[in-house]
Amino acid sequence: MKIIDRMLEDRIHISFEVFPPKTDATYEKVMEATEAIAGLKPSFISVTYGAGGGTSKNTVQIASHIQNDLGVDSIAHLTCVSSTREEVHRVLDDMKEKGIRNILALRGDIPTDTEFPIPGHYKYASELIEDIRRHGDFCIGAACYPEGHVESGHKTEDILNLKRKVDSGVDFLTTQMFFDNSILYNFLYRIREKGITVPVLPGIMPVTNGKQIARICQLSGTILPERFRAIVDRFGDDPKAMQQAGIAYATDQIIDLIANGIRNIHIYSMNKPEVASAILSNLSEIIK
């Protein structure tokens, strides 16, 4: 099923994300986690794409397993900045062969060891989106940044760039993580005002490890509310307490989103079925 069709249904949808193994040695462990998350019967599962295309083969393979063997809709990430058009076309052909019809189209991180743009490669996600649209009948998602992309000079410029990306053929948007829902609500108001009308899927990150938050903020520019900082300061050195607090904070965000009319929510579950399960348990009466 196309993700956009599911998102337009008049009911609440919760989805999760998994990432492929970095090495073959951890493949089995990742598959066990993926199968456990699929067993929770989310609306769909997204599968990330490795930096530099390193895990692209596993991305398609895992997305296919989720969809064709586990019976859960999947969406495969596809980044383009480090891939030639020919390489991307081969991945698209592989997806079509395996029946994968949902793609999250991303530019990806700019390589630090070479010039940019790389000759013969993509420069913008919009170029990838246009290519996917020409290549087959795919449902295409793209990323958006409620707090502004770290490379944009200001939010107005970022929204104009987002509008160009959406106009290139995007069916829906998925947000980068955020920890203050008012940032999302303000973002939705601003993009609708600029004519961006596609559905927006909020991305929620349950922070279960206090040490990971500094790197998250460095890479994404995400703002941490004082309430969240206090939680990390108090429980960050106690893994079990931090996991419980992180799940509770994410659950609180999701409940507020649902109360304010948001029907589709994506959880960056980080290959942790126990976290995904705990959140669904917290929401059991809310989303039934």
Q: Which phi-psi region, left, alpha or beta, contains residue 223 (left: φ > 0; alpha: ψ -120 to 50)?
A: beta
Judge whether 17 counts as a catalytic residue: yes
Q: What is the β-pairing status of strands 13-18 and 264-267?
A: parallel
Q: What is the β-pairing status of strands 74-79 and 45-47?
A: parallel
Sign of the alpha-carbon torsion through 57, 149, 197, 287: positive
92 φ, ψ to 5°? -60, -40
The 8-class DSSP code of residue 77 comes to E
Q: What is the β-pairing status of strands 172-175 and 45-47?
A: unpaired
User: HSE (CB half, 13 Å, CA atoms) of 68?
Assistant: 13
| Given 9, 17, 28, 274, the catalytic residue | 17
d(CA 125, CA 102): 16
- Report, as residue numbers or ranges, the catalytic residues: 17
